[in-house]
Amino acid sequence: MELKKIILSGLLLSSSLFASVHYAHWGYTGVDDPAHWGDLNPKYAECKLGGSQSPINITKDITVTTQGLAPIDFHYTTSASEIINNGHSVQVNVKPGSYIKIDGKVFELKQFHFHTPSENHIDGKSFPLEAHFVHQAKDGSLAVVAVMFEDGKENPVINKIWNKMPKKVGEKVKSSLSVAMINELLPKKKTYYRFDGSLTTPPCSEGVRWFVLKNYSTVSKKEVTEFLHKLHHPNNRPIQPIDARKVLQ
Protein backbone atom coordinates (compact mmCIF):
# COMPACT_ATOMS: atom_id res chain seq x y z
CA MET A 1 0.00 0.00 0.00
CA GLU A 2 2.84 2.39 0.80
CA LEU A 3 4.36 1.84 -2.65
CA LYS A 4 1.00 2.56 -4.23
CA LYS A 5 0.77 5.81 -2.24
CA ILE A 6 4.22 6.86 -3.39
CA ILE A 7 3.48 6.06 -7.03
CA LEU A 8 0.11 7.71 -7.18
CA SER A 9 1.13 10.82 -5.30
CA GLY A 10 3.56 11.56 -8.10
CA LEU A 11 0.83 11.44 -10.73
CA LEU A 12 -2.58 11.99 -9.21
CA LEU A 13 -1.74 15.13 -7.31
CA SER A 14 -5.35 16.19 -7.08
CA SER A 15 -6.69 13.05 -5.47
CA SER A 16 -8.20 13.51 -2.02
CA LEU A 17 -7.29 9.87 -1.35
CA PHE A 18 -3.72 11.00 -0.75
CA ALA A 19 -4.39 14.40 0.81
CA SER A 20 -2.76 13.28 4.05
CA VAL A 21 0.52 12.31 2.37
CA HIS A 22 3.07 15.14 2.42
CA TYR A 23 6.13 15.35 0.19
CA ALA A 24 9.00 17.79 -0.16
CA HIS A 25 8.51 20.64 -2.58
CA TRP A 26 10.02 20.06 -6.02
CA GLY A 27 10.02 22.02 -9.23
CA TYR A 28 11.71 22.65 -12.54
CA THR A 29 13.90 25.66 -11.70
CA GLY A 30 16.49 26.66 -9.11
CA VAL A 31 17.49 24.45 -6.19
CA ASP A 32 14.36 22.31 -6.59
CA ASP A 33 15.01 21.47 -10.28
CA PRO A 34 15.28 17.92 -11.67
CA ALA A 35 19.03 17.73 -10.99
CA HIS A 36 18.27 18.01 -7.26
CA TRP A 37 15.11 15.90 -6.96
CA GLY A 38 16.93 12.88 -5.58
CA ASP A 39 18.31 14.95 -2.69
CA LEU A 40 15.10 16.71 -1.65
CA ASN A 41 13.58 13.76 0.18
CA PRO A 42 14.70 10.16 0.89
CA LYS A 43 11.50 9.01 -0.86
CA TYR A 44 12.81 10.67 -4.04
CA ALA A 45 16.08 8.73 -4.05
CA GLU A 46 15.06 6.75 -7.13
CA CYS A 47 15.22 10.00 -9.12
CA LYS A 48 19.04 9.77 -8.94
CA LEU A 49 19.63 6.06 -8.21
CA GLY A 50 17.13 4.36 -10.53
CA GLY A 51 18.27 2.40 -13.57
CA SER A 52 15.09 2.67 -15.66
CA GLN A 53 14.20 6.32 -15.51
CA SER A 54 12.00 8.35 -17.87
CA PRO A 55 11.94 10.23 -20.19
CA ILE A 56 14.28 8.84 -22.84
CA ASN A 57 15.48 9.59 -26.37
CA ILE A 58 14.08 6.87 -28.63
CA THR A 59 16.71 6.20 -31.29
CA LYS A 60 17.16 3.53 -33.95
CA ASP A 61 20.12 1.92 -32.19
CA ILE A 62 18.08 1.06 -29.10
CA THR A 63 14.89 0.06 -30.93
CA VAL A 64 13.99 -3.59 -31.53
CA THR A 65 11.30 -4.56 -34.05
CA THR A 66 9.12 -7.23 -32.46
CA GLN A 67 6.73 -9.47 -34.36
CA GLY A 68 3.28 -9.66 -32.84
CA LEU A 69 3.49 -6.55 -30.67
CA ALA A 70 -0.14 -6.28 -29.63
CA PRO A 71 -2.05 -3.08 -30.36
CA ILE A 72 -3.28 -1.04 -27.43
CA ASP A 73 -7.00 -1.63 -27.02
CA PHE A 74 -8.41 1.84 -26.30
CA HIS A 75 -11.80 2.22 -24.61
CA TYR A 76 -12.15 5.92 -23.81
CA THR A 77 -15.88 6.20 -23.13
CA THR A 78 -16.24 8.81 -20.38
CA SER A 79 -15.91 12.58 -20.28
CA ALA A 80 -13.66 14.76 -18.14
CA SER A 81 -14.68 15.76 -14.64
CA GLU A 82 -12.35 18.66 -13.81
CA ILE A 83 -9.24 20.58 -14.82
CA ILE A 84 -6.61 21.28 -12.19
CA ASN A 85 -3.57 23.53 -12.01
CA ASN A 86 -1.37 21.45 -9.70
CA GLY A 87 1.61 23.79 -9.95
CA HIS A 88 3.57 21.39 -12.15
CA SER A 89 1.18 20.95 -15.06
CA VAL A 90 -2.42 21.33 -16.11
CA GLN A 91 -4.20 18.08 -15.40
CA VAL A 92 -7.54 16.87 -16.75
CA ASN A 93 -9.21 14.29 -14.53
CA VAL A 94 -11.47 11.76 -16.27
CA LYS A 95 -14.64 10.15 -14.95
CA PRO A 96 -14.38 6.40 -14.18
CA GLY A 97 -15.04 3.92 -16.96
CA SER A 98 -12.39 4.70 -19.59
CA TYR A 99 -9.50 2.27 -19.97
CA ILE A 100 -6.93 0.62 -22.16
CA LYS A 101 -6.26 -3.10 -22.33
CA ILE A 102 -2.71 -4.36 -22.87
CA ASP A 103 -0.79 -7.44 -21.68
CA GLY A 104 -4.14 -9.01 -20.82
CA LYS A 105 -4.73 -6.33 -18.16
CA VAL A 106 -7.15 -3.46 -17.88
CA PHE A 107 -5.66 -0.07 -17.00
CA GLU A 108 -8.21 2.59 -16.11
CA LEU A 109 -7.61 6.10 -17.42
CA LYS A 110 -7.26 8.43 -14.43
CA GLN A 111 -6.08 11.68 -15.95
CA PHE A 112 -3.98 13.30 -18.62
CA HIS A 113 -1.64 16.26 -18.38
CA PHE A 114 0.86 18.18 -20.49
CA HIS A 115 4.58 19.00 -20.70
CA THR A 116 6.30 21.71 -22.73
CA PRO A 117 8.63 21.06 -24.38
CA SER A 118 8.21 17.30 -24.73
CA GLU A 119 9.90 15.05 -22.21
CA ASN A 120 10.54 12.08 -24.50
CA HIS A 121 12.45 12.64 -27.73
CA ILE A 122 12.30 10.64 -30.96
CA ASP A 123 15.59 10.37 -32.84
CA GLY A 124 16.84 13.39 -30.93
CA LYS A 125 13.79 15.48 -31.83
CA SER A 126 12.02 17.45 -29.13
CA PHE A 127 8.37 18.41 -29.64
CA PRO A 128 6.67 21.60 -28.45
CA LEU A 129 4.10 19.70 -26.37
CA GLU A 130 3.58 16.19 -25.00
CA ALA A 131 0.48 14.75 -23.33
CA HIS A 132 0.63 11.89 -20.84
CA PHE A 133 -2.47 9.73 -20.44
CA VAL A 134 -2.06 8.03 -17.07
CA HIS A 135 -3.69 4.65 -16.41
CA GLN A 136 -3.77 2.37 -13.38
CA ALA A 137 -4.60 -1.33 -13.06
CA LYS A 138 -6.35 -2.81 -10.04
CA ASP A 139 -3.01 -4.11 -8.74
CA GLY A 140 -1.63 -0.55 -8.70
CA SER A 141 0.61 -0.90 -11.75
CA LEU A 142 0.75 2.06 -14.11
CA ALA A 143 0.73 2.55 -17.87
CA VAL A 144 1.34 5.89 -19.58
CA VAL A 145 0.41 6.64 -23.19
CA ALA A 146 2.42 9.60 -24.51
CA VAL A 147 1.19 11.71 -27.42
CA MET A 148 3.47 14.19 -29.16
CA PHE A 149 2.22 17.46 -30.63
CA GLU A 150 4.15 19.08 -33.46
CA ASP A 151 3.95 22.66 -34.74
CA GLY A 152 0.93 23.15 -36.94
CA LYS A 153 -2.61 24.40 -36.96
CA GLU A 154 -4.48 25.29 -33.81
CA ASN A 155 -5.79 22.29 -31.90
CA PRO A 156 -9.46 22.89 -31.00
CA VAL A 157 -9.42 20.43 -28.09
CA ILE A 158 -6.26 21.96 -26.59
CA ASN A 159 -7.85 25.37 -27.07
CA LYS A 160 -10.94 24.26 -25.13
CA ILE A 161 -8.81 22.95 -22.27
CA TRP A 162 -6.67 26.09 -22.19
CA ASN A 163 -9.79 28.29 -22.07
CA LYS A 164 -10.74 26.61 -18.78
CA MET A 165 -7.19 26.30 -17.47
CA PRO A 166 -7.08 27.58 -13.85
CA LYS A 167 -4.73 30.50 -13.22
CA LYS A 168 -3.90 29.79 -9.58
CA VAL A 169 -1.95 26.80 -8.28
CA GLY A 170 -4.27 24.36 -6.56
CA GLU A 171 -7.34 25.74 -8.29
CA LYS A 172 -9.68 23.36 -10.08
CA VAL A 173 -12.71 23.91 -12.29
CA LYS A 174 -15.39 21.60 -13.58
CA SER A 175 -14.85 20.46 -17.15
CA SER A 176 -17.34 19.69 -19.88
CA LEU A 177 -14.72 18.12 -22.14
CA SER A 178 -16.55 15.33 -23.95
CA VAL A 179 -15.38 11.81 -24.57
CA ALA A 180 -15.27 12.61 -28.29
CA MET A 181 -12.84 15.46 -27.65
CA ILE A 182 -10.63 13.31 -25.43
CA ASN A 183 -10.40 10.77 -28.23
CA GLU A 184 -9.59 13.54 -30.71
CA LEU A 185 -6.37 14.21 -28.82
CA LEU A 186 -5.13 10.80 -29.95
CA PRO A 187 -3.82 10.29 -33.50
CA LYS A 188 -5.88 7.99 -35.69
CA LYS A 189 -3.02 5.50 -36.10
CA LYS A 190 -1.92 4.26 -32.70
CA THR A 191 1.26 2.31 -33.42
CA TYR A 192 3.75 2.86 -30.65
CA TYR A 193 7.18 2.53 -29.10
CA ARG A 194 7.24 0.61 -25.82
CA PHE A 195 9.72 0.64 -22.97
CA ASP A 196 9.94 0.16 -19.22
CA GLY A 197 10.39 3.41 -17.36
CA SER A 198 9.42 5.54 -14.41
CA LEU A 199 7.36 8.50 -13.36
CA THR A 200 8.87 11.68 -14.79
CA THR A 201 8.12 13.51 -11.54
CA PRO A 202 9.12 12.73 -7.94
CA PRO A 203 9.25 10.13 -6.52
CA CYS A 204 10.36 8.83 -9.97
CA SER A 205 9.05 5.34 -9.14
CA GLU A 206 9.98 2.67 -11.70
CA GLY A 207 7.96 -0.19 -13.14
CA VAL A 208 5.81 2.04 -15.35
CA ARG A 209 4.80 0.74 -18.79
CA TRP A 210 5.45 3.46 -21.36
CA PHE A 211 3.77 3.63 -24.78
CA VAL A 212 4.90 6.55 -26.96
CA LEU A 213 2.66 6.86 -30.00
CA LYS A 214 4.51 7.13 -33.31
CA ASN A 215 2.01 9.48 -34.95
CA TYR A 216 1.50 13.04 -33.84
CA SER A 217 -1.19 15.60 -33.29
CA THR A 218 -0.71 19.31 -33.97
CA VAL A 219 -0.67 22.38 -31.75
CA SER A 220 -0.19 26.04 -32.62
CA LYS A 221 2.74 28.10 -31.36
CA LYS A 222 0.23 30.44 -29.74
CA GLU A 223 -1.27 27.57 -27.72
CA VAL A 224 2.16 26.41 -26.55
CA THR A 225 3.11 29.96 -25.53
CA GLU A 226 -0.14 30.34 -23.60
CA PHE A 227 0.54 27.13 -21.66
CA LEU A 228 4.11 28.21 -20.94
CA HIS A 229 2.97 31.58 -19.66
CA LYS A 230 0.49 29.89 -17.35
CA LEU A 231 3.23 27.75 -15.81
CA HIS A 232 5.88 30.53 -15.97
CA HIS A 233 8.56 27.99 -16.97
CA PRO A 234 9.07 24.76 -18.97
CA ASN A 235 7.95 21.61 -17.16
CA ASN A 236 9.98 18.86 -18.79
CA ARG A 237 12.38 16.53 -17.03
CA PRO A 238 15.65 16.12 -18.98
CA ILE A 239 16.38 12.94 -20.94
CA GLN A 240 17.55 10.05 -18.73
CA PRO A 241 20.15 7.35 -19.49
CA ILE A 242 18.78 4.36 -21.37
CA ASP A 243 21.24 1.99 -19.63
CA ALA A 244 20.54 -1.64 -20.67
CA ARG A 245 16.99 -1.07 -21.84
CA LYS A 246 15.63 -1.61 -25.33
CA VAL A 247 12.61 0.00 -26.97
CA LEU A 248 10.13 -2.30 -28.65
CA GLN A 249 8.18 -1.41 -31.76
Active site residues: 88
Rounded to 10°, the helix 156-164/221-231 angle is 20
Smallest Cα–Cα separation from 214: which of 14, 58, 68? 58
Beta bridge partners of 152: none
Buried b (16+ CB within 10 A) or exposed e, 193-203: bbbebbbbbbb
* Amino acid type, 245: R
Smallest Cα–Cα separation from 5: which of 23, 22, 18? 18
Helices (H), the chain: 2-11, 37-40, 46-49, 156-164, 179-184, 221-231
